Structure 1
Amino acid sequence: MDGELASWLSSLHASAGDFVDALAAFGRTMLLPSRLQQIALALVLAALAWLAARPLGARMEDWMRGLEGRPKWQLRAFIILRRRLPLILFVGMIWLAAGLFAALYSFPSRRYVLVLVATIASAWLAIRLAAQLIRNRLLRNVVVWGLSLWATLYYLGLLDETSDALDAIAVTFGDFRLSALAVIKALALTAALFMAARTLTIASSRRIRTVRDISPSVQELLVKLLRIGLYGAAFFIGLKAVGFDLTGLAVLSGAIGVGLGFGLQKVVSNLVSGVIILLDKSVKPGDVISLGDTFGWIEELGARYVSVVTRDGKEYLIPNEDLITGQVVNWSHTNNFVRLDIFFGTAYGDDPHLVRKVAVEAAKSVDRVLSHRPPVCHITGFGDSSVDYILRFWITDPTGGLTNIRGNVYLALWDAFKAHGISIPFPQREVRVLNDSLAIDTGGAPGSDAVPDRPSGADFDPSQVSGPTSSKGLGKGAP
C-alpha cells in the first residue's frame, strides 16, 4: 500500500513538473516581445540617452574646465567623448537591454532586433571616433556618412541588393560602361588614397625639413615634388582600380594641355617660375626681401605665389613671375649682414672731428648695431646752412625692422649731440622788400601788409621798414 502511494505521488510530481514546464514554455512563447516592440524599445532607449546626455554633458563640461595644463591630446579626447555622449549612452543601454533579454529568453530570433540595433549603433560609434583622425571637416563628414551607410546595409543584409541596384544605373560609351556603383567605388577608393597620400606627405615633409644638409629652397622643392607625385598616383590608381581606360585619358589630357597652355599662360608661367626659384635658390623661406614698396620676410614658397609678411602684419601674395622678371632686393641672400645709412647735418661752428666721434659712439650704444663691424661717419659736403654727414652701421636681424633701428640711432644722436653741445641747424631764409611799387599797387589800405613810402637806393634804412620786412628762423649756425 505504501509503495503504491509513493509511486502515485512520484507520478503526480512528474506530471506536475511537466505541466509547469509546459506552462512556462507557453508563457515564454506567447509573452516574448515582437520585433515591432523591440524597435519601439530601441527608440525609447535612444530618447532616454539623448535626454540623459544633456545634464551629464553639462557636468562633464564643468569637470573639463578644471583640466587646464593637461596634454592637448587628452583634452581633445575628452571633447570628442563629450560630443558623442548621446550615442555612447545609447550603445550602453541597448547592449544592456539585449543582455537582459538573452538572460530571460532562450530564443535568439526573438532578441535579434535588439542585437542588430546594438551592433549597428556600435559600428556607428566606432566610425565616428576613428574619423576624428581626419582633420579636414568636409572629408571627415563624407567618410563618416559613407562608412555608416555601408555598415548599416552590411548588417541588415542589404549590401548585395543595393550593389545590384546601383550597378543597374549605368551609361555606356562604346565599349566602356560606367555605372553608379563604379563611380561610388572610384570616389571611395580615391578618397582613401588621397588620405594616405596626405598622411605620407605630412610625415615626409616634416622629415625633410629636419635635414640640415639640404637648403630650405631644395627642401620646398622636394616637398612639392613628393606632394604632386603622391596625389597624382592616388588619382590615377583610383581611376585604374575601377577599370577606367587611361589610354583615352592620355589623348584627352594632351588636348586639354594645349588649350590650357594658351588660356592659362600666366598661371603656367608662375608655376614654372616657382620651380626656377626653388632650383636657383634666389629666395628661400625666411629671407628678407624688398619688391617695390613691399618690405618683409618670405613666409612660404607656393606653387603660384610667394607669401611675404611685412612688419605691420600684412601678408602679400606675390606672383612667382614678378620675382623672376623684376628687380628684387634680397637683404639676406648670402648672409644676414645689412648696412644702413642715415644722414644728418651740424652747424658750421661745431668741430667736425668731435661730431664724427660722438656720432660713432652714439650708434654703438644702440643694441642691434654690431660692434665687430663698427659704425663709421663721413662728411659728405658743405650745405647751405650745415655740414652734412653720413653715418653707416651694420645689423644682422633685418626681420626685426629697419625703420625702428634707424629711429633708435637718431634718438641716440640727439641725446649725444645735446650732451656735447652740438647743434643741428635748420634752413635759414631772409625776405626783403625793396620795391615801392608794392605800396602803390596795394594802395596802402589800412590793415594790409603794404610797405610805406621810404627812400630808395643808398638812403634806404631797413630800420624804417615795418611789416613784411623780417628775418625769421634765425638760430645758431645761420649764415
Structure 2
Amino acid sequence: MPLTDLLQDLLEDISNPRILWQALAIVGAVLVGLLLARFIRRSWLHEDDSQNAIRRLGVEGFGRVLAPLLIAGLVWSAKLALQEHQSVHLLRVALPLFTSMAVIRIVFYMLRRVFARHGQLGPALQTFEKILALVVWVAVALYLTGMWPDVIKFLDLHVVTLGKNKQISLLDILQAIASVVVLMMVSLWAGAALEERLMGLESLHTSSRVVLARMANALLILVSVLVSLNLVGLDLTILSVFGGALGVGLGLGMQRIASNYVSGFIILLERSLSIGDPITVDKYSGRVARINTRTTVLQALDGTQTLLPNEMLITGVVLNQAATNKAVRLSTKVTVAYDSDLNEVMDSLLRQADGVERVVADPAPSVQLNAFGPTGYELELGFSIVDAEKGSGSVISAVNKNIYALVRDGTIRLGLPPPMPQVERA
C-alpha cells in the first residue's frame, strides 16, 4: 500500500547516513526563512517614502505569511538540489507540510483583513478557520499516504443529475465551489487593501476616497463573480434572468433599499457631507462618523451612534455646521449676590475662559446678564470650541473650576437663598 511504501522509504533513509543532509536542509530552510522574513519586514514594511509605496503595498499584504512561504520555497529548492545525488523521501514529506502551513496562513490573513480589520475575531470566523485548517491537514494526510488519487477518482465517478440531461460529477462541483470561494476571497482582500490605501491619501477629498473605494470593491466583486461563473461553466446569459428578477424585486419591495444605496453615492459624489462634519438632521445631532452603503452613522457628543438612512439626508433638511462655521457655543451659568459690583464681576468672569484648552478666541468669550433672580444677578459666561466631536464636558468643567477659584478667594460672592428660620420646639 502507499502508506507502507512511504514508511519503508523513510526507514531506508533513516538507515542511510546521508539523511543528515536532508535534516540539515530542513533546519537550514527554517532558520533562513525566519531570518529572511524578519529582515524583509524590518527593512521594507517600515519605509515611509513615496518611491517605495508600490513595493510596500505588495510586501505588506503578505507580511504575515512570508516565513512559511520562504521556508516552503527553500525546502523545495533543497529537494531539487539533493535529488540528483541521493533519495529525498524526508524532504518529500516536509514539503507538503510546510506548503500547507503557508496556505493556511495566507487564507487566515486574507479572512482577517476582510472580516476582522479591528482585530476582533467573531465566533463564526474562528469556527470557519478551524474547519478550513482541518480540511487542509486532511488533504495533506491523504496526499502523503497516497490516497489522494483514489479520492479524486471516486469523486469523478459519482455524478449528480441536474435537469433532464445535465450531469455533473462531484469533483466538478467541489472544484467550482473552490474556485468561487478563492476568487471571492482574493477580490475581497484586494478590495480591503485598496480601500486602506485610498483612505490614506490625504491629497484626495474624503468623499472622493470613499467613492473610489466603494466603486473598486464593487468592480472587483463583479469581476470575480463573472470569472467564477465562466470557470464553473455556467452560461452568462443567466445574468439576464437574474437582472429581470432583481428589477421585479426593486419594483415590489426594495425601492427604499435602492433609494438609500443611490442616495449614499449622491452624498459622496456631490460632497454635501464629509466624514467628521457636525450636522443636525430632524432631532438628531452629532458628527458624521461613517457613510455606509445604506446608512450614515451619526455620533453624538456623548458617544452614542445613530444610523440614519441615506435617503433621509437627501430628502430632508440638513444643518451642516462644517459648511458654515465649526465653532460650537458653550456656556455656564452663575448667580452672584446683589451687593456685588456687577461690572467688576462680569470682567472677572470674562477672563476665566481665557487660557482654557480648546477654547478659541474667535468668536470671543462673552458674559451676559440674563435675569434678576430671587437670590442675585443671573449671569451666563459663553465661549466657543471648534472640535465639538471631542466632547464639551471637560471644557465646561475647566471653566467652572476657574470660577470656583474666584469664589474661594472672595472675588465673587454667590447669591445664596436666605437660611431657613429655626422653629423652636415647645
| Shift, 1:171, TM fit | 2.1
What is residue 264 of structure 2 aligned with on the other side?
A: 274
Q: Separation in 2 of the partners of 1:320 and 1:467?
A: 69
Q: How many residues align?
A: 372
Q: CA deviation at 1:38?
A: 4.6
Aligned to 2:92: 119
Question: Structure 2 vs 1, CA of residues 244 and 37 (structure 1 numbering), >3 Å: closer, same or farther?
Answer: closer
- CA drift of 1:426 comes to 3.7
Amino acid of the residue matched to residue 251 of structure 1?
Answer: V
CA distance in 1, matches of 2:412, 2:11: 91
* Contact 1:127–1:148 under 8 Å retained in 2: no
Give CA-to-partner distance per residue, 1:452-479, whole Å, 9 cap, x none. xxxxxxxxxxx9x9669xxxxxxxxxxx
* Alignment pair present for 1:223 and 2:196: no
Q: CA deviation at 1:181?
A: 3.3
Displacement of 1:309: 5.1
Report the Cα distance in structure 1 between the residues aligned to 2:282 and 2:425, rounded to whole angstroms.
Answer: 49
Structure 2 residue corresponding to 1:366, chosen from 356, 359, 371: 356
**Worse overlay, 184-193 or 405-414:** 184-193
| Pairs within 5 Å for 1:232-381 | 232-259=222-249, 262-264=252-254, 267-289=257-279, 297-308=287-298, 317-321=307-311, 323=313, 330-381=320-371
| 8 Å CA contact retained: 2:180, 2:225 | yes
Distance, in Å, in 2 between the alignment partners of 1:312 and 1:147 is 49
What amino acid sits opposite 1:370 in the alignment? V
Q: Aligned AA for 2:368?
A: H
Give SS of 2:334's match: strand
Please tell me the root mean square deviation across aligned C-alpha atoms, in Å. 5.2
Residues of 1 paired with 2:159 and 2:424: CA distance? 104
Contact kept in structure 1, 2:298 and 2:308, CA below 8 Å: yes
Equivalent in 171, 174, 185 of residue 175 of structure 2: 185
> Quick one: distance in 2 between partners of 1:237 and 1:35?
39
Q: Distance in 2 between matches of 1:209 and 1:119?
A: 45
Alignment of 1:409-448 (within 5 A): 409-419=399-409, 421-427=411-417
Please say if 1:39 is aligned against 2:44.
Answer: no
- Opposite residue 246 of structure 1, the aligned amino acid is L
1:230 is displaced (CA, Å) by: 0.9
2:105 to 125, 132, 137: 132
CA distance in 1, matches of 2:285, 2:13: 64
Counterpart Cα distance in 1 of 2:221 and 2:64: 32
Please give the secondary structure, in 2, of the residue aligned with 1:204.
Answer: helix
Q: Distance in 2 between matches of 1:266 and 1:410?
A: 48
TM-fit CA distance, 1:312:
6.2
Q: Which has the higher contact order (CA 8 A, sep 6+)?
A: 2
- The answer on whether the counterparts of 2:97 and 2:140 sit within 8 Å (CA) in structure 1 is no
Q: CA deviation at 1:380?
A: 2.5
Paired AA for residue 341 in structure 2: D
Q: What is the Cα deviation at residue 216 of structure 1?
A: 0.9
Separation in 1 of the partners of 2:363 and 2:95?
Answer: 70
Distance between the aligned counterparts of 1:170 and 1:280, measured in 2? 52
1:206 maps to a residue whose letter is E
Amino acid paired to 1:229: L
Mapping for residues 47-196 of structure 1, pairs under 5 Å: 115=89, 118-119=91-92, 121-134=94-107, 135=109, 136=111, 142=132, 145=135, 149=139, 162=152, 165-166=155-156, 168-173=158-163, 177-196=167-186
Structure 1, unpaired ranges of 5+: 1-33, 47-55, 104-110, 432-462, 469-479
Please give the per-residue CA displacement for 1:430-460, whole angstroms capped at 9, x wherever unaligned: 89xxxxxxxxxxxxxxxxxxxxxxxxxxxxx
The separation in 1 between residues aligned to 2:281 and 2:224, in whole angstroms, is 39
SS of 1:222 mapped into structure 2: helix
Using the size of structure 2 for normalisation, the TM-score is: 0.66
Q: Structure 1-normalised TM-score?
A: 0.60
Deviations 1:196-219 (A, max 9, x none): 323432343234324434321221
SS of the aligned residue for 2:330 comes to strand
Q: Structure 1 residues 257 and 321 mapped into 2: Cα distance closer, same or farther (>3 Å)? A: same
> Offset of 1:176 from its aligned partner?
5.3
1:231 Cα deviation after fit: 0.7
Query: CA distance change for structure 1 residues 144 and 37 in 2, over 3 Å: closer, same or farther?
Result: closer
Is the Cα–Cα contact under 8 Å of residues 358 and 417 in structure 1 kept in the other structure? Answer: no
1:310 Cα deviation from its structure 2 partner: 5.8
CA-to-aligned-CA distance 1:133-154 (integer Å, 9 cap, x gap): 3311668774994698499669
Q: CA deviation at 1:323?
A: 4.8
Matched-pair contact (CA < 8 Å) for 1:127–1:144: no
CA shift in 2, pair 1:209/1:123, >3 Å? same
Q: Go from structure 1 to structure 2 and tell me whether the alpha carbon gap of 1:383 and 1:162 turns closer, same or farther (over 3 Å shift).
A: same
CA deviation after TM superposition for structure 1 residue 387, in Å: 2.1
Alignment of 1:407 with 2:380, yes or no, is no
Tell me, yes or no, if the aligned pair for 1:261 and 1:268 is still in contact at 8 Å: no
**Structure 2: which amino acid aligns with 1:278?**
L
CA contact (8 A) 1:131 1:144 kept: no
Q: CA deviation at 1:422?
A: 2.3
SS in 2 for 1:212: coil
In the superposition, relative to structure 1, how do residues 151 and 222 fare at CA in structure 2: closer, same or farther (>3 Å)?
Answer: farther
